Structure 1
C-alpha cells in the first residue's frame, strides 16, 4: 500500500484515535465512497488498515451491506487474500472495516513505473490464481480485480496479496466502479459479460489476464471514450502482440471474449501455469485441483456405462450373444461368434456369472451417481462406504482400510466411471494414508479430497505433488488440506522461540493449558535484534503451527540495544512511570510515537515510596547511541533526596525538555528533535540503585558498547529497572 499526503477533506487526520483503540498514522488511499488508512492498535501495537465509509454513506443500508459482505471474506484463510476482521462504528456514526496492513507496492505502481517482467508476472499470476481459487471455493467472485488491488508484500511477486473485495456503489454510470443491476467492476479490466450484469469465476480470470497484460506493457488497456467504444472493444480479443511466450498464450486464453473459451476454473489456470511452454496443450475440459500435467487415457480406455435398454430376459442367451457380437464385430461374423458363445455358455456358465473382466462379466446394478467415501479420522479410526466396480478393488480397498484399523461396507456396482477408476482411487489413498486425518469423496470420476496434515511441511509436500501431477489417472477434483496438528502444545511453541532469542526472552501470551486448537492465535512478545530475526520467527512458527494465526508482537531493536539489554541486571520493575508529551502542545502522547520534526518531552515519576537511593535515566536509540539524561554534565545530582527537594508523595521529574524550556535554561537542559537520520525504536531506561553505580560521571552521549561494558562492571547495587519504548517515524 502506498502512503498519501493528508488533505483538508480527509475523514481522519494522523493522530486521531478511533474507539479508544486505533491510532491513525496516515492515509493510504481515497475512493468515491471510502478512504483507507494505516492505523495502529493502542492495545496490541498491531498495524492494521482501516477502510472507512464516508459519512454520507455510513447510514445507507446498501453500502453497509457491501461492507458486511466484505467482512464475510474473513472466513477465507489464504495468504494471497488480505485478512479481514470486523466492522466497527465510531461515536460519530462512521463505519470502518479493520483488515491486515499489507506493506508493499501495488501493481498499479509497478504499471506506472513502466511495468514488470514476464517471469515476475507469471509468478504473480500463480499466486493470485491460488487466492482466487480459495474465494471461488466459497462462491465468492471478486468482480473488481485490477492492478490497484493487488499488493506485492515487501515487493515480492511470490507474495502478492489480493485486497478490496467490496465494490462501492455509485449511481453515476460514468464512474469507474459501480454496482447496480447491470455492471460491477472497472471497464478497463472487466470481462465482457460483466457489462450485462453477469459475473462468475471466469470473469475474475479475465480480469487477471487483462491486468497482467497492462502491467507487462506499463499502461492500462484502452477502452475508448464512451460506452459504445467499451462494448465494441470488449467484444474483441486483447492485443497481446509483443508479449513473450508462455505469458502471451496464457493471457490469450484468460481473456477470450467468450467465457466458454477461457480457463473455466482457477485450477485449470494453475495447471496451465505449471505446464509452462505447454500452455497451449492443456485440455480445456479438464477440472483440476491445482497444477496437474495434462493426462491421456490409455488406448481403449473409456467409461463403463449401462446400456440404454436392458436386454429382453425372454430372449434366449445365444440370441443375446449374437446381437452383442454383431454390434462389436460386424454382421458377417455374427453367426460364427454366436455359435462359439453358445458353446461357451453351455460349457462355462459359471464363468459368465463370476469372472470380472471377461467379455461378458457380471452385470452389477447401476449406480448413478457412482459414489464412495473413504476416510481416516484418527489413529485406528477409518472407514469406507459406497460403490466399487469389482471384487478385486473391493478386496484391495478393504485391506487398506483394515490396515488403518477400520472397516469397509462396499457395494459392487457399475456406473459412469473410467476403466482405471479403482487403481486410481487406490493410488490416491496410498498418497494420503500417512496424513493424521483425511477424507476422500467420489462422484463418478470427480474426487473431493480433504484432510489434516501433521504440519505445514507435510501439507506442502502433498500439495506440490498434486499440483505437479494432478489426481491419479483419470480422476479429477479438488483438494482442501489443512496444516496441523489439530492441537499444538505450548511446549512446542516454546521450543521454536527459544532457539531465536537474540535480544532477551521471547514469551507466549496466555498460552492455553490444553494447547492451541486450529484457527487459534499464537501471540509472542519480547524483543529481537533485527527484522530478519522477526521474519525467521514468523516463518518457523508458521511451519510448526499449521492453520493458526501467528502474531509476533515483538519489538525490533538492534544489536547495540540488545547488547545493553543483555548487560542489564535481571531485577524487578520499580513502578517508575515514564510519560511522553509534545514540546509544542499540551497533552500526553499515549502512543509514544513521534514523527520527523516533532519535539519529544519525557517525564519520569518517582513513586511515593521511593525516598532514598540514586536514579539513572538513559535513552538508547536505534543507531546504537546512548544519551544520559540523568545524571549528566549539566545535571550531576541524581540522588532521590536531591531530586525530591523536600517534596513528598509521587514526584514528576522532567528529563527531556521542550525546545523553549531548553532555550530558557541557556542550553543546560536536554531537548530532542526527531530528524530523518535515525528512525525506529528508542528505549528509555530508568535504573534505581542504592548507591552510585558508576565510578564516575558518564558522558552525555556514548556508544551502546561502552555503556554495556560499564554496566558489566558496576560498583553499586541496582534495585529496580523500568523501561519504555519511544518510536520515531516519517510523517
Structure 2
C-alpha cells in the first residue's frame, strides 16, 4: 500500500459521495489514482479508480473509463468485478471496483521462487478468467505479476485486476496509453512491440509471468530497444522447470503466435489433460447480500440388484470415524453385489414398519443443519450522523433477533443470514456486547471474520472515550481477537498540541503554525503549517502525523523543501524575526532585466541586490549564498569587500536604497565584484541569507567560499549571545534548472 501525500485528491477519512470512506491510497498512475475505501452503508471494502483532475473534463479519457466500466459484464471470480462510473459533486470522476485483499504476484516474486504446483493452480484460475474476458472480446494486454492478486494468499483464488488498458475487438477501440503498444516489455508478447494483440498475447504474458515467479526473478530483456527486439524473438529459457509446467510454458510463450495455444480454452484443455481439475469448491460469498439456503439431503438412488419383490434392503449411513470393514458376503461366501446384507423378509418387514412409526411420532426429527459459511463474516457500521447497518452471518435466531433489536433501535437496517462456521462458543454474545459498548460513539465500525475482529470508533466525548477504552482494556472482546482503535476527536484542539508534533518532525529548522486561532482549532477548521523541510518524504510523514491527530480538520502544509546544505545552516542559525529588508534578482546576461521569480537556467547570469528600507540606518549586513553543492559564498563581507556597516553601504544615500552584492559579468570585469553563471553542476534551490545585526556577526573574516559545515561550526563557536545582536534575518530562494 502506498503512503498518502498532501497533493492526493482524497485523504484517509474523506467521505466520497456520502457513501465511501477513504482508508488509503493503493497506487498512482499517469491518468488516475486508486484508493481503498469502505462503504458506510454495507461496510464492504471497494477500490475507487479516480481520474486525475486534469482529465475529468476530457471526453477521450471519460470514454476510456466508460470502456473500462463495460468490464462489469464479465462475471467471473477470477476477474475483478467492476461496477459503475460516478461523479462527485465537485466534478471528479471515479470508477467503482471490488477490492481484492491479498498479495500480488509481484510481492511473491520478490519473496522468491514459487512451487510448480501452486503455479499450475494459478495458471488454471487465470486462464479461466481470460476465457471469460476473451469471450466478451476484451484482451488485458498488460498481464504481469502486479496485475494478479491472490485473494487471502490462496493460489486457487487468483484474481486478474487492472483492465485499464484493455482493448476490445471493435474497430476504433482505444487504450489509455495510445492506440499502439501497451504492456510491460518484460512480459509482453513479441508481436505487441508492433501493436498487434489478440487472445494469444495474453496467453504469452501469462506464461512469462508464471516462469518469472517460478524462477523468483523478472525476465532479462536487454538494456536498449534493439536488445529488447532481439530477446523477444528468442524462446524463453524453461530449463529446469518440472513437467507438466515446462511443456505448458513452452507452448504458451512460443515467440511465434501461430505456434502458441490459440485460446485460453486450449490452455485449460491442456491443463485438464496434464493435471485433472480439483473437485469444485463451495462458491465464495460474493457480496453482503448473499443468502445461503440450507442444503437438502439427497435421496438414496442406489438400489440392490434385483433383491426380489418381498425383500427390504437397508443401507446404513457410512460412519467416517469407523475404520473400513470387510465387505459383507452372501451365504455362499461371495461378496454381495450391493455390499449390503440381505435381511430376512419377516424381520425386514417389522423393522420397516417400526421406522415408519418412529418418524411419524417425530422421534428422529431434529433442526435442519445450518449451511457452513467460510469465511464467517459480519459487518456492522454506523457513520457519523447516519443510521447503523449490519450485514453478514449469525449463528442462531436468538443472536439475529438481539442484533436486529440493537440496530433497529437506532432506525438502522439488517441483512443477516443464519449459518454455521468456525467460530468460538460465546461468539454471538460477545459481538452483541461490543455493539452495545460502541452504541454511544459518534461513528463506529465492527468487521468480524471468524473470531478475528476489526473495531474502529470515534467520539468527541472524553467520558465516552474513557468508558469504551477502559471496557476493552478490561477484556470486553471476550472470545474475539483484535486491537480496537478508539479515537477521541476533541471539539477544540489547542495550538500547543499541534506545536508539539511540529517539534517532533522538524528536520530543517523550526516549523510553525500559520494564523493559528487564539481559541484553538474547532471542527472543520484548517491547520496551516509553514517553515522548511528537508525532503518531500518529510512533508508526507508530517502530513500523515497531523491528519491522524486533528481528526476531520483539514491540513495545509506550505513548507519549502530545501536541501541538506540549507537544512544544516537552518539548524544552527539563531532565530530572529524577519523585516522589510528584501532581495531582488536580475538577468545579468539580458541587460540587468528584473527577474521577479528568482528562477534561472544553465548559462544565465544572476544579479542580486539587497533592498534596504529607509529606516535601516545603522548596524551591519551579512549576506551569504547557500547552494545545493554544500558550499557557502559570502557576498558581504568578504576579502574584496570587508566593510559591511550600513553606514558605509549607504555612502551618504538616504531613503530606500539597493545594494548590489552579486554583479553581472560585465560589471564584475570593471569593479572586481563577485559574479556567477549557472552551470549544470549545482542545480536546485539556493538560499540567499541576509542578517542585520548590531555588531559584526563573526569576529573574523571568512573566506569568500567555504563549506556549509565549516560555516556552521563558525556560527556555533561564535559568541553565545550572538542572537541578542541580531535585529532581523531575511532570506529568499534562487532556483536553477537545466531549462
TM-score in terms of structure 1 length = 0.49
